[in-house]
Structure 1
Amino acid sequence: MEVLQPRAAMLSNYEVLNLLREQADEQKQYLAINPTMHFPENLATVQFEVTGYLEKGPCSTQTPEQIEAFLTALDHWKLTKAEKLQILNLRTKSMVELHLIIEECEERFTEEQLEELLQIVQQTLSRDDDMEMVEQNRRVDGELEEEPMEE
């Protein structure tokens, strides 16, 4: 494979995962046709490790429709491509994550706007395990609250 235009576009984790799955399928087809064919061992290792990592992340449950809805919802937001990509890849769930992703976040957006952005992420990139995660966070938050001091 030869890189024709370096940095021509940034890929989301969803796109990388799909590409790796397609490559794995193609490699299996080649091996079915020619069992003596060998692929570089390092390549197989990298493909396996990256696929395993990405399958544990948010991109494993995303769909093209969700991604399109997410990007459409962010049309009027003044975010860079890299910021949108990071929010998509990480499926941001908290204000802290937004502040880490968005450069000069406090100067560019109000607290209410950031809350709205989190709502957009939650609505457009929803997952089946969202309710489990919310419940888990509530339990953790409840355990971390300060207990009343005894007198």
Structure 2
Amino acid sequence: MKIEKANAGVLTNFEVLDFLRSRGAKTDPMGCLGAVTASECKVYEYLLKTPACNQTRESVFEFVKRSEGFRLADADKLNVINWRPSSAADAYAMIEECGRRFSRDERGDVRDEDEWVQEFLEIVKEALPPPPPKAEAVQE
């Protein structure tokens, strides 16, 4: 793989997964021989276990469009798209200074943080598909 332009921007996990799919990455190690390196196959296999595996370009664009009113930083959007929060605790962990930044709306009116978080999580739930189910623990 050759780097065409360094630091051209950040990529979501979905975009990396889409790129690896276009190059022919597979979960079968023998199927990875050729245009895709072994490390790229490992990244591909990992990303298949993240929310990125069920996302589409349209779902990512829909989330970005619908979340504009929340004044998220680009890094916040990236975290949300990559990890798809499903609880208020997840949202607070992913969005920097969540409580302080979003306790006021765009007009400066004070908003209830809990209402904001629930409204935000509803948008996430509607726009981004659910993550894959977690693998069950192996029983011996």
TM-score after normalising by structure 2: 0.73
Matched residue SS, 2:69: coil
- Assess if the C-alpha contact under 8 Å between 2:60 and 2:128 holds in 1: yes
Question: Per-residue CA shift, 1:122-143, capped at 9, x if unaligned?
Answer: 01113397xx89xxxxxxxxxx
Residue number among 47, 50, 62 corresponding to 1:69 in the alignment: 62
Aligned length: 116
5+ residue gaps in structure 1? 26-36, 134-151
Structure-1 residue corresponding to 2:48: 55
Matched residue SS, 1:92: coil
Structure-1 residue corresponding to 2:17: 17
Matched residue SS, 2:24: helix
Q: In the TM superposition, what are the counterparts of 1:87-126 in structure 2 within 5 Å?
A: 87-109=80-102, 110-126=113-129
Structure 1 residue 103, shift from structure 2 partner: 1.2
- Assess if the C-alpha contact under 8 Å between 2:53 and 2:131 holds in 1: no
- Assess if the C-alpha contact under 8 Å between 2:79 and 2:94 holds in 1: yes
| Backbone CA RMSD of aligned residues | 2.4
Q: Percent identity?
A: 31
5+ residue gaps in structure 2? 26-32, 103-112, 135-140
TM-score after normalising by structure 1: 0.68
Letter in 1 for 2:125: Q
What stretches of structure 1 move > 2 A for 4+ residues in a row?
126-129
Residues 100 and 12 of structure 1: CA distance in aligned 2, closer, same or farther (over 3 Å): same
Structure 1 residue 38, shift from structure 2 partner: 6.4
